[in-house]
Amino acid sequence: MAERAYFDITASDVRKIMVAVPNFSGDGQGPTVAQLLTKGFALHGFISVIDSSRYGGGKDGDWKSLGADYVVMGQVGADPAGIVIEGQILDVASNKLLAGRRYKGAAAQLEDMTLRLCDALIEDFTGEMGVARTRMAFVSDATGRKEVYITDILGRHPRQVTSHRALCVSPRFTPDGNFLAYSTYHRGNQDLYITDLRQNASTNALSRRKGLNLAPAFSPDGRSMVLTLSKGGNPDLYSMDRQGESLQQLTSGAGINVSPSFSPDGQSIAFVSDRSGKPNVYVMSAAGGQAKRLTFKNSENSEPAWSPKGDEIAFTGLQGGAYQLFIMDRNGGNPRQLSAGGGNYESPTWSPDGRLIAVTRKSGSHSEICVVSKNGKDVRTLFTLKGNQSYPQWSGRLP
């Protein structure tokens, strides 16, 4: 494979890469594959896909005059196992074919193979695997009640996870993506439940202690979690095992302590406390102990979300009467605003590659899930689904 000069797509002044995705040749599935690949590319935010109607969808366009930097040349074919899909990147400037990727599988796996190809080609562009094969959990009122759903990251195949007919909030994936925890009020108290996403029949109680049982942050190894309980009167952070036992109290009575988020190495927890009078973001050891305040701008700061690389923390801050999306270094330095006006931004959650942040955007009674690139450009609506969506939670990459 030729030496690649990877794009630094986190720079704020970088222009989008212009890519053409003509129909794949082969067994009649070519246009479907190209359309799904186009959606996957667009998700990542740094690629602008040239409308195929400008060149008829074929592989023989005048790419230079169309302004294409790269063209994805691909084919779908038969294989003893079922189907094979191949894709290569044509560098228009040099007229050379770069990396090639090939996937084989059953015909029913064509969608998944297309998204695998998408993520691999994103890696060819940037040096890091893409995130088209991920999922999003969220809360929707599509049924008239706020229930928990999951969907693939492109908004296809949405699935209702809960049927409590009562308010559900704050879904949280386990690190392996197989389980989803959430809080619900269906028994009158805010209780914590967990469901195995590999089945669709039952969900289990994790904590039904009196008072608040707020959605947890799972440790990176998936063995334990940190959550807010108010069983002692004050909302404090506790560590708990996956069975809902082995409680260890991490904060003690210093105001309200909520919204924990683990650092990727599992050593630290960012959380929100109003011990200084107003809600602010703090950090402490995962074992508890002394907490250090990180936020000092804005009248309120909340909902910290640690980046997958561990170097930054996203959070929301109250500014000018509305919550906006911010990002700061892990020590609290260099805070910068990513969103601009246009409603309240809540519940930030990172993509596994750390390039994108999904967030709830609320305007009046309408709420939707948007995605914003880490450099603050390009706030986009992620899904066009029935009802209002909130509380996004991005999964890790699928195996």
Report whether 99 contacts 113 (CB < 8 A). no
Dihedral Cα 107, 123, 374, 168, nearest 10 deg: 30
Share of the chain above pLDDT 70, in %: 96
**Is pLDDT above 60 for 323?**
yes
The CA distances from residue 115 to 120, 151, 297, 348, in Å, are 9, 14, 41, 24
Classified as helix, coil or strand, 133 is coil
DSSP letter at 139?
E
In Å, how far from its chain's centre is CA 170? 14
pTM summary value:
0.94
Report whether 255 contacts 246 (CB < 8 A). no
C-alpha 168/C-alpha 146 separation (Å) is 6
C-alpha 381/C-alpha 393 separation (Å) is 15
**Is pLDDT above 80 for 376?**
no
> pLDDT tens, 29-84?
899 999 999 999 999 999 999 999 999 999 999 999 999 999 999 999 988 889 99
CA angle centred on 391, ends 305 and 242, rounded to 5°: 70
State which amino acid sits at residue 118: C
Lookup: tokens for 371: 């995605």
DSSP letter at 35?
H
> pLDDT tens, 176-190?
999 999 999 888 888
C-alpha 262/C-alpha 308 separation (Å) is 10
Name 334's Cβ contacts closer than 8 Å, sequence gap at least 6. Answer: 328
Give the model's pLDDT for residue 166.
Answer: 83
C-alpha 14/C-alpha 239 separation (Å) is 42
Mean of per-residue pLDDT scores for the chain? 92
Q: Lowest-pLDDT range, 9-18, 132-141, 210-219, 332-341?
A: 9-18
Q: Lowest-pLDDT range, 124-128, 236-240, 394-398?
A: 124-128
Report whether 269 contacts 284 (CB < 8 A). yes
C-alpha 306/C-alpha 169 separation (Å) is 20
**Is pLDDT above 70 for 11?**
no
Give the model's pLDDT for residue 342.
Answer: 80
C-alpha 160/C-alpha 150 separation (Å) is 7
Dihedral Cα 314, 316, 320, 321, nearest 10 deg: 170
Name 326's Cβ contacts closer than 8 Å, sequence gap at least 6. Answer: 298, 301, 314, 315, 316, 317, 335, 336, 337, 338
Q: Where are the beta strands (DSSP E) in 230-307?
A: 236-241, 248-249, 257-262, 268-273, 280-285, 291-293, 301-306
Phi, then psi, of 122 in degrees rounded to 5:
-60, -40
Give the model's pLDDT for residue 10.
Answer: 55
Lookup: tokens for 154: 């492109």
Report whether 46 contacts 7 (CB < 8 A). yes
